[in-house]
Amino acid sequence: MASIVVENLTKKYGDQKAVDDISFEVISGEVVGFLGPNGAGKSTTMRMLTCYMAPTDGRISVAGFHAEKDPEEIKKRIGYLPENNPLYTDMAIIDYLKFCAEIQGIRKEEVNGRIRNMIDVCGLNLERHKKINELSKGYRQRVGLAQAMIHDPEILILDEPTSGLDPNQIVEIRKLIKELGKEKTVILSSHILSEVEATCDRILIINKGKIVADGTSDTLRKQAQGQELISVQIEGELEKIKKALLGLASVEKVTNMENRNGFLLVQSKPEASSRKPIFDLCVKNKWYLLEMTGIETKLEDVFREVTN
């Protein structure tokens, strides 16, 4: 069952379309990465999903409720961590979470239990008696996640949840999000592609307000790969070898590899493979083939291809 259904969603600022007629679904229990360059429409889309901002056109359904008719019902079912993570920094963690619980309408007798649960889930035990302004950036992000989940929402929308964190903090927050994804539907936006690949079941890429890619990281890489890329190292005179490789019917392009002295990057023609022809060429010329390795397209390559 789909937790989120977006149909022909558009947001205009004057004549400019920040989001341009996009449609997608997110299935219950799915962790979806939402990628795009700066100004692509990520944060605008997230604000519309959370009913923080009204669309110019289109339809949003969350947990069976329509944004136009039932925004308050949708807000009850969503936990939202905005990119700038607005916190009342002069408040103690427990007081702030109590305040958030009361705003979310949690029954008085359940508030303390929810706070204890969030402190445990978000790893705030050691810091729980501190004021927010005494916390590191990593722990402030944990407090932001705790406020987003205090009312036990079905859906979490996290905008740049690891922004400004150090590598250790990123690993900790990533692990937490993966755990949350076992029980909740999660949409997260990030500029860190390795983080999205490690955390998400599926990836949406938006560019200039339009969805330009949708699929698992493996699917997107395979779609982008198209032409075979092979790294080869052959003993002998490099220019002579390059000329011979370019003479193969299956080869489209041969270049020197950056930062790998003596290695050549061979790009095959569409739908062709050059592995066997390269091997046969080496046998024919009595050259030593020292290494031949296929190169898989990286998610960074896919991102650049669809957003350029």
Each domain of the chain, given as residue ranges in start order, spans: 2-215, 227-307
pLDDT at 135 over 70: yes
- The SS3 call for residue 31 is strand
pLDDT per position as a tens digit, 242-298: 999 999 999 998 998 877 888 998 988 888 899 999 999 999 999 999 999 987 777
Mean pLDDT of the chain: 88
Task: Please name the fold of domain 2-215.
Answer: Rossmann fold (3.40.50)
pLDDT at 38: 86
pLDDT band at 223 (very low <50, low <70, confident <90, very high): low
Q: What is the dihedral of CA 265, 267, 272, 276, to 10 degrees?
A: -20
Do the first three CATH levels of 2-215 and 227-307 match, i.e. the same topology? no
Three-state SS letters, 215-256: ECHHHHHHHHHCCCEEEEEECCCHHHHHHHHHCCCCEEEEEE
pTM above 0.85, yes or no: no
Q: What is the mean pLDDT of residues 9-21?
A: 93
Q: Helix, strand or coil for residue 266?
A: strand
211: confidence class by pLDDT, cuts 50, 70, 90:
very high
Distance, in Å, from the CA atom of 174 to the CA atom of 292, rounded to the nearest integer, reads 35
Question: pLDDT at residue 98 above 80?
Answer: yes
Domain 227-307 has CATH 3.30.70.100: yes
Of the given ranges (198-202, 222-226, 273-277, 289-293), which has the lowest mean pLDDT? 222-226
- Is residue 163 pLDDT above 80, yes or no? no
pLDDT reading at 2 higher than 80: no
| pLDDT at site 222 | 66
Give the rounded percent of residues in the chain with a pLDDT score beyond 70: 97
Look up residue 76 and give its amino acid.
K
